[in-house]
């Protein structure tokens, strides 16, 4: 998958003595290979996500994050107790660079793209690479301090102070309802909803302006089942101010969902305002403690709440809390944002974390095998997973892990191959022979004494055994050697059923086929597939897929087709191939795992297309390369639920084909600086400069906050260049 966006910047110069004008337009294309992240899986805890952390060492002007907002060009703006920073996916930059410390209390983004910073009595706007005053401080009283800032549904930035509510319009702070007084001495939170109502929270309650002036939200509300009384200042819109006293409940956060529900967070209650009533969703003393609470709804409908005791997720009526033990920098969570690419950004008192999901997951299998080389994987009919490694045989069921070794009956701890039988039966191939697990234990009898490399059990019960020397067939208790004719298969790496009858066998010597008791070459020497020795798999359509070095080979009805670089398969050494239930092949190599459509492969084979679109994933949720270097078919398995399992040098990698994380949002290209003969010139306007210039350098950003290391760029000067210059990762 290639994402692309083009940015044009006009560069004009007059050549001395040439008698003509030279005009060129810079075109920069940012190309991103398939990013392995999208939105977080709705039912996936942050502990199963990739978590990247930033601190002062990474450029943050302060560890305590007080506000987060994403700008129109994709930058992440970070307000901290210490200053303002901007992150473009490449690095964190302080704004302004080298500026004095600033105590940021909040950050907001206006509809026109302006980034607004609140700090004490000051309201600052980002301009270029610096900060300027948004409005004269004289518009605030001497004792007035900014205590809340937010962007309303109307696109304006709203300001709350210890006196009143104001709205930023251009370079003016316009008071809202100056004729009316608020019932509390400080605004803690405010929200302008899509209906035009303004909600204002304070240390002792909540008011709303629905066009008729401030009204208390009062009365008694609807109570959720088993939650007790739901009282904030009650529920429903009460009479105008002055006719009732607010209840003593501090309001810390207000959030409007995509469905139009309004969530309200107090010290110890989470309430939802709908149909004119407040519904209590959660009552627990000190559950939501902390004055820096925020709320955000992600694109899957989960509600995330920041508290001094951790990050809380509300999903399907259930609350889960995550904190420092789960990988966050601190338990005191102070800011939160879901960016346009689906990552969740979590600010704390001790740093910033990015939570992003990955197609290649490592957290599903047994913890004892993480970072350990795995040789084989299989699933029994009862849902038990089995893993072979040099440590022994690992059983994984219902989250319980158990390792079996020589002490439990294995002939040696080196387990190379696995084949489930009936019920709890499992055939186990080791370096010193074949044994069987049955009735809850490893039986002591060695069924076949050679080094077992791969196993296949037919549905009828016949077992095929691949060793370092050849192929054997086991019927009941009788084992028959398969005679080789016409070629030397070498070490057996894969065995697969042939729906037309017979058995396919791949080895270090190439591809063969068993018919009767004879193993012969499957295709003439020199033909496509003759040297295919890895990853042999058959899909439900009857096509046999295998690897020939770095190339993919598909064989059906005796005809083989090779797919390499010219056909879009540009991969390193292919080790494993698995078809999923959704029409794709997954190809595991020494450094990545790629997905390719079988329909696209068929179109190339039929001459209807020239190339396929292979999407490569090269990073797991633990920032590791998926080193799937196991060439035997025992190293990959498709589970009954459709999930794919690959054995690697660093544990097991799993893929859920139903939730592939592909970022379809193109990187944004922004020209950030221009120098002409070493002098900085403005990037505003047309970018024209005087004649006689010798060297022009442009600094730009290709902004993607998900897998920014995968973004590559190229550029050309239209009017001068006739081809692209590959910039790679240079900016």
In this predicted structure, what is the pLDDT of residue 237?
Answer: 42
Decide which of 206 and 22 is more confident: 206
The answer to whether the beta carbons of residues 428 and 438 sit under 8 Å apart is no
Three-state DSSP at 602 gives helix
Task: Specify which residues 648 forms β-bridges with.
Answer: 651
Query: Percentage of residues in the chain with pLDDT exceeding 90?
Result: 41
Q: What is the mean pLDDT of residues 621-642?
A: 75
In this predicted structure, what is the pLDDT of residue 255?
Answer: 94
Three-state DSSP at 282 gives strand
The answer to whether the beta carbons of residues 546 and 537 sit under 8 Å apart is yes
Q: What is the mean pLDDT of residues 18-36?
A: 51
In this predicted structure, what is the pLDDT of residue 280?
Answer: 76
**Mean pLDDT of all residues belonging to the chain:** 82
* Dihedral sign from CA coordinates of 438, 444, 450, 451: positive
In this predicted structure, what is the pLDDT of residue 378?
Answer: 95
Residue 702 has pLDDT above 50, yes or no: yes
The DSSP result for 109-136, as a single string, is E-TTS-EEEEETTEEEEEETTEEEESS-
Q: What is the pLDDT of residues 384-422, one digit of tens each?
A: 999 999 999 999 998 899 999 999 999 999 999 999 998
190-204, 271-285, 498-512: range with lowest mean pLDDT: 271-285
Helix (H) or strand (E) holding 605: helix 598-605
Residue 230 has pLDDT above 60, yes or no: no
The DSSP result for 452-476, as a single string, is EEEEEE-TTS-EEEEESS-EEEEET
136-145, 224-233, 261-270: range with lowest mean pLDDT: 224-233
Residue 291 has pLDDT above 80, yes or no: no
Decide which of 315 and 417 is more confident: 417
The answer to whether the beta carbons of residues 490 and 484 sit under 8 Å apart is no
In this predicted structure, what is the pLDDT of residue 355?
Answer: 86
Decide which of 38 and 654 is more confident: 654
pLDDT classification of 453: cutoffs 50, 70, 90: very high
Assigned token pair, 592: 């990545």
Residue 82 has pLDDT above 90, yes or no: yes
The answer to whether the beta carbons of residues 11 and 687 sit under 8 Å apart is yes
Residue with tokens 């009956």: 409
Burial class (CB in 10 A: 0-12, 13-18, 19+), 258: exposed
In this predicted structure, what is the pLDDT of residue 627?
Answer: 64
Q: What is the pTM of this model?
A: 0.74
d(CA 468, CA 489): 10
Residue 228 has pLDDT above 70, yes or no: no
24-38, 410-424, 465-479, 631-645: range with lowest mean pLDDT: 24-38
Q: What is the mean pLDDT of residues 414-434?
A: 94
pLDDT classification of 364: cutoffs 50, 70, 90: confident
d(CA 378, CA 420): 7
Long-range (24+ apart) CB contacts under 8 A made by 644-647 are 644/578, 644/580, 644/586, 645/365, 645/377, 645/379, 645/385, 646/377, 646/576, 646/578, 646/588, 646/593, 647/374, 647/375, 647/376, 647/377, 647/387
Decide which of 545 and 365 is more confident: 545
pLDDT classification of 31: cutoffs 50, 70, 90: low
CA dihedral of residues 427, 428, 432, 434 (deg, nearest 10): 0
Q: What is the mean pLDDT of residues 243-268?
A: 77
Q: What is the mean pLDDT of residues 311-316?
A: 88
pLDDT classification of 700: cutoffs 50, 70, 90: confident
Long-range (24+ apart) CB contacts under 8 A made by 101-105 are 101/61, 101/62, 102/61, 102/131, 104/66, 104/67, 104/79, 104/80, 105/66, 105/67, 105/79, 105/146, 105/147, 105/149
The answer to whether the beta carbons of residues 505 and 473 sit under 8 Å apart is no
In this predicted structure, what is the pLDDT of residue 26?
Answer: 62
The alpha carbon of residue 589 and the mean position of all alpha carbons in its chain are separated, in whole angstroms, by 21
Residue 693 has pLDDT above 80, yes or no: no
Residue 239 has pLDDT above 80, yes or no: no
pLDDT classification of 588: cutoffs 50, 70, 90: confident
167-181, 265-279, 334-348, 449-463: range with lowest mean pLDDT: 265-279
Residue 194 has pLDDT above 60, yes or no: yes
In this predicted structure, what is the pLDDT of residue 306?
Answer: 93
pLDDT classification of 622: cutoffs 50, 70, 90: low
Q: What is the pLDDT of residues 557-587, one digit of tens each?
A: 888 899 998 998 888 888 889 999 999 999 8
d(CA 597, CA 610): 14
Contacts of 335 (CB under 8 A, 6+ apart): 65, 66, 67, 68, 292, 294, 306, 345, 346, 347
Strand ranges (DSSP E) for 658-695?
668-676, 679-681
Residue 437 has pLDDT above 80, yes or no: yes
Q: What is the mean pLDDT of residues 237-253?
A: 54
In this predicted structure, what is the pLDDT of residue 284?
Answer: 57
86-90, 116-120, 698-702: range with lowest mean pLDDT: 698-702
Q: What is the mean pLDDT of residues 367-390?
A: 91
The DSSP result for 378-395, as a single string, is EE-TTS-EEEEETTEEEE
d(CA 542, CA 526): 23
d(CA 612, CA 604): 7
Residue from 41, 47, 34 nearest 613 by CA: 34
In this predicted structure, what is the pLDDT of residue 223?
Answer: 27
The answer to whether the beta carbons of residues 385 and 379 sit under 8 Å apart is yes
Cα–Cα separations (whole angstroms), residue 663 to 353, 595, 691:
19, 15, 43
User: What backbone torsions phi and psi does residue 488 show, to the nearest 5 degrees?
Assistant: -110, 110
Q: What is the pLDDT of residues 59-79, one digit of tens each?
A: 999 999 999 999 998 899 999
Contacts of 566 (CB under 8 A, 6+ apart): 611
Residue 308, Cβ neighbours under 10 Å: how many?
17
The DSSP result for 347-365, as a single string, is EETTEEEEEE--SBB-SSS
């Amino acid at each position: 998958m290639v994402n692309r966006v083009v940015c044009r910047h006009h560069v004009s110069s007059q050549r001395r003595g040439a008698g003509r004008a030279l005009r060129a337009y810079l075109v920069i294309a940012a190309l991103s290979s398939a990013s392995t992240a999208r939105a977080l899986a709705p039912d996936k805890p942050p502990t199963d996500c990739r978590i990247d952390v930033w601190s002062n060492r990474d450029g943050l002007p302060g560890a305590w994050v007080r506000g987060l907002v994403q700008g129109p060009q994709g930058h992440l703006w970070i307000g901290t107790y210490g200053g303002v920073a901007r992150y473009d996916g490449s690095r964190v930059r302080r704004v302004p660079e080298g500026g004095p410390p600033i105590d940021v209390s909040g950050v907001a983004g206006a509809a026109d793209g302006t980034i607004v910073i609140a700090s004490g009595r000051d309201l600052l706007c980002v301009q270029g690479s610096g900060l300027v005053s948004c409005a004269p401080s004289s518009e605030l009283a001497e004792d007035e301090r900014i205590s809340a800032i937010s962007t309303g549904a109307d696109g304006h930035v709203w300001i709350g102070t210890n006196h009143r509510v104001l709205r930023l319009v251009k370079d003016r702070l316009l008071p809202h309802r100056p004729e009316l007084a608020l019932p509390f001495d400080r605004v803690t939170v405010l929200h302008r909803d899509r209906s035009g109502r303004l909600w204002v929270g304070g240390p002792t309650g909540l008011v709303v302006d629905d066009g008729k002036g401030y009204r208390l939200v009062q009365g008694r509300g609807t109570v959720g089942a088993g939650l007790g009384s739901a009282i904030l200042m009650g529920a429903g819109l009460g009479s105008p101010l002055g006719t009732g006293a607010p209840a003593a409940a501090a309001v810390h956060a207000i959030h409007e969902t995509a469905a139009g529900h309004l969530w309200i967070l107090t010290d110890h209650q989470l309430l939802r305002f709908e149909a004119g009533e407040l519904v209590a969703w959660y009552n627990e003393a000190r559950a939501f403690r902390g004055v820096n609470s925020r709320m955000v709804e992600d694109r899957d409908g989960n509600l995330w709440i920041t508290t001094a005791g951790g990050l809380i997720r509300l999903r399907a009526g259930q609350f889960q809390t995550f904190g420092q033990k789960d990988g966050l920098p601190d338990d005191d969570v102070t800011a939160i944002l879901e960016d346009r690419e689906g990552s969740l950004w979590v600010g704390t008192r001790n740093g910033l974390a990015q939570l992003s999901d990955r197609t290649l997951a490592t957290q599903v299998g047994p913890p004892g095998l993480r970072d350990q080389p795995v040789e084989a994987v299989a699933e029994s009919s009862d849902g038990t997973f089995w893993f072979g490694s040099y440590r022994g045989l690992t059983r994984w069921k219902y989250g319980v892990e158990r390792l079996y070794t020589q002490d439990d009956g294995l002939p040696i701890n080196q387990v190379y191959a696995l084949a489930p039988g009936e019920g709890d039966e499992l055939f186990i191939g080791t370096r010193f022979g074949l044994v069987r697990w049955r009735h809850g234990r490893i039986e002591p009898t060695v069924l076949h004494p050679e080094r077992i490399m791969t196993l296949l059990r037919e549905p009828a019960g016949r077992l095929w055994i691949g060793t370092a020397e050849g192929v054997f067939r086991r019927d009941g208790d009788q084992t028959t050697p398969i005679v080789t004719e016409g070629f030397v298969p070498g070490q057996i790496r894969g065995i697969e059923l042939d729906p037309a009858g017979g058995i396919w066998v791949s080895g270090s010597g190439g591809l063969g086929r068993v018919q009767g008791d004879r193993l012969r070459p499957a295709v003439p020497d020199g033909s496509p597939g003759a040297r295919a020795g890895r990853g042999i798999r058959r899909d439900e359509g009857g096509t046999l897929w295998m690897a020939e070095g770095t190339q993919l080979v598909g064989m059906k009805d005796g005809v083989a087709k090779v797919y390499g670089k010219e056909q879009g398969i540009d991969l390193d050494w292919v080790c494993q191939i698995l078809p999923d239930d959704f029409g794709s092949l997954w190809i595991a190599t020494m450094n990545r795992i790629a997905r390719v459509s079988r329909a696209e492969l068929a179109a190339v084979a039929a001459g209807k297309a020239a190339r396929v679109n292979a999407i490569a994933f090269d990073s797991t949720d633990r920032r590791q390369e998926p080193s799937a270097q196991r060439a035997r078919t025992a190293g990959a398995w498709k589970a009954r639920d459709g999930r794919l399992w690959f054995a690697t040098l660093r544990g097991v990698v799993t893929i859920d084909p139903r939730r592939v994380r592909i970022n379809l949002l193109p990187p944004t290209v922004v020209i950030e600086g221009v120098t002409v003969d070493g002098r900085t010139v403005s990037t505003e306007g047309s970018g024209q400069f005087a004649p006689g210039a010798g060297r022009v350098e442009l600094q730009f950003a290709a902004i993607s906050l998900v897998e920014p290391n995968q973004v590559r760029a190229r550029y050309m000067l239209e009017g001068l260049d006739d081809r692209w210059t590959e910039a790679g990762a240079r900016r």
